[in-house]
Amino acid sequence: MGASKFIGLALAVALLGLPAERSAAQVTVNLNKHGISLSTYSPQRFGDWRTEYVYWRPVTVYYVNGVYYQEVVPRARPVTVYYYRNTYFLPPPDREFVVYQRSHGRGKALGHRPRKP
């Protein structure tokens, strides 16, 4: 029994002395940031943009790997969306909305201050 303990100890020392082979591994970093859900524009839910646009708040979110984030994330691209009634949503796909938005700017639609959502 003494010889088997000696052989086991010698084997363990030999294995510890060998350089470890390192393999390349992909590491995913948890940023502790939660993605937000984004809706498509719906006139039934967010109102007609011609009258409700003054109440929408433009917000910049960050898009990377199919997820939208409120905070800046590495390699993410900034995207402007709108916030209204506790929901983030994409702008209306209507070409008139783009023209109206560029020509009138924010808050000039009805000539009054927007109410709080």
Confidence check: pLDDT of 55 > 70: yes
Upper half-sphere CA count for residue 100 (Cβ side, 13 Å):
17
- Of 33, 50, 49, 108, the C-alpha closest to 84 is 49
**Residues 27-30: contacts with CB within 8 Å, 24+ apart?**
none
Q: Phi/psi class of residue 55: alpha, beta or left (left: φ > 0; alpha: ψ in -120 to 50)?
A: alpha
Q: How does pLDDT run across 69-107, given as a tens digit for each residue?
A: 999 989 999 999 999 999 999 999 888 888 777 776 654
pTM: 0.59
Q: How does pLDDT run across 16-37, given as a tens digit for each residue?
A: 554 544 444 443 344 556 889 9
What local confidence, expressed as pLDDT, does residue 14 receive?
54
The residue whose two tokens read 């590495």 is 74
- Phi then psi dihedrals of residue 67, to 5 deg: -125, 140
Which range (53-57, 92-96, 108-112, 113-117) has the least confidence?
Answer: 108-112
CA–CA separation, 49 and 92 (whole Å): 8
